[in-house]
Amino acid sequence: MADIRPFRCIRPSKEAASTVAALPYDVYSRKEAKQEVEGNPGSFLAIDRAETQFADDVDLHDPRVYEKARDMLEEWQQKGVFLADGSECYYIYKLTMDGRGQAGIVACASLDDYVNGIIKKHENTREEKEQDRICHVDVTNAHTGPIFLAYRSDHELNRIVEEACMGAPLYDFVAKDGIRHQVWKVADGLAASCIHRRFSEIGPIYIADGHHRAASAVKVGLKRRAGRPGYTGEEPFNYFLSVLFPDDQLMVLPYNRVVKGLNGYGKEAFLEAVAQRFAIEPCREAKGPKARHHMEMYFDGRWYGLAVRPEYIPDGLVEALDVSILQDVLLAPVLGIQDPRTDGRIQFVGGIRGMGELERLVDRGDGAVAFAMYPTSMQELFAVADAGLLMPPKSTWFEPKLRSGLFIHKLS
């Protein structure tokens, strides 16, 4: 059903891999990106966020920024930082965090599968966020950050991945955040054929993380098609860089919320409004929600456990998500957050930052109240995507994050 293909990879030398590998471009602010590159000039972030090579008064979207990214990529290839593999291959990329490993297949996915809904999404994208990566991909002529895809675990693909991981890895290093990164090439031709065949049989693929990168890559591919009426469909620009993981290896963390102000409510009135919608119980300390439809709230220096009252639990796939319930029954009607995508009073905090980060933000005055969520499950993600529906923004946080710069796919 899905056309998942091997590709001719440009990748760092073994000696450079640990230096080059960088977290995704969008986890950094401009200031953080510049600091990161100043501390490690060999980080791929210098190319992914090439504004780091300019003074702060240069606009992020200045054409010179994307031209600099292109030039640096070519320069690093000429210097031998990056090498070009001689044939089209699949790769295995394993990340190990806190003793838990997840191994994905690095490949190229078809833009037609994205357009036709075989590759399913669960979030909307914003055009202004897409535009930056459209320019980056188009000018550098390359996909530099893989899209994080998921599929329902499959015995045959699991076997191929396990066997590939028995060989000597191309890379094996531990990043400064403690996450181990290992990469193997799938050198066996029969195994490669099995990978392609099996993905054509197992059904839909799902975007776990990277909706904006996927949309941008597809739009560049469609632009290239429009400029070449005689295209065959076999050109590299018809495919985008991806890493595909079985769902049972993935860990979804919560995406927590911090809200500035109480929309005119006093402390007691706010707690009364919460208690109308949730069974509320003070906690001695933050433990994190242990079940669906349970949350924890940090307010006025203490934690509270919240259980959604039954009458506030709707039936719909999207409406019954905890992030939807919080939005629909409390954030919108009580705190006045009507559109969480655009309202500056709400801040989204990835679960990897822990409960202490929520306390810190509220205690220092960056928010009046924080909500710790129970994670959205992979089953919920699949169900929403299969129904052709979309989750609210910031519904899922995946860890560990894929590194950019380990695999590069040229569009021509």
pLDDT score recorded for residue 178: 95
pTM: 0.92
DSSP-based three-state secondary structure for 341 = coil
Structure-token pair, residue 233: 């469909």
**pLDDT at 394 (0 to 100):** 87
Of the candidates 271, 279, 272, 319, the one whose C-alpha atom is nearest the C-alpha of residue 295 is: 279
The pLDDT value recorded for residue 408 is 98
Q: Is the pLDDT of residue 357 over 80?
A: yes
Q: Are 118 and 2 contacting, i.e. CB atoms less than 8 angstroms apart?
A: yes
Give residue 128's pLDDT band: very low, low, confident or very high (50, 70, 90): confident
pLDDT at 392: 86
Q: Provide the pLDDT confidence category of residue 410 given band limits of 50, 70 and 90.
A: very high
pLDDT tens for each residue of 144-203: 999 999 999 999 999 999 999 999 999 999 999 999 999 999 988 999 999 999 999 999
In DSSP notation, 209-249 reads: E-HHHHHHHHHHHHHHHHH-TT--S-SGGGEEEEEEEEGGG
For residue 363, how many other CB atoms are within 10 A of its CB? 12
**What share of the chain has pLDDT > 90, as a percent?**
90
pLDDT of residue 124: 78
Give the mean model confidence (pLDDT) for residues 347-362. 93
In this prediction, residue 393 carries a pLDDT of 82
359, pLDDT greater than 90: yes
How confident is the model at residue 368, as a pLDDT?
97
Q: What is the arithmetic mean of pLDDT over 196-225? A: 95
Please give the pLDDT value at position 284: 86
Q: How far apart are CA 33 and CA 65, in angstroms?
A: 14
255: nearest Cα among 329, 340, 128: 340
pLDDT band at residue 358 using 50, 70 and 90 as cut-offs:
very high
Summarize the confidence of residues 307-336 as an average pLDDT.
96
State the pLDDT at residue 129.
79
Q: How far apart (Å, rounded) are the C-alpha atoms in residues 387 and 380?
A: 11
Tell which residue, 393, 404, 382, has the closest CA to residue 346. 393
Asked whether the beta carbons of 306 and 300 are under 8 A apart, the reply is no
pLDDT level of residue 127 (50, 70, 90 thresholds): confident
Query: CB atoms < 10 A from the CB of 199, how many?
Result: 23
Q: What per-residue confidence (pLDDT) applies to 341?
A: 83
Distance CA 134, CA 195 (A): 29
Judged on CB neighbours under 10 Å (0-12, 13-18, 19+), 128 is exposed
Q: What is the mean pLDDT of the chain?
A: 95
pLDDT digit string, tens, across residues 15-69: 999 999 999 998 888 999 999 999 999 999 999 999 999 999 999 999 999 999 9
| 172, amino acid identity | D
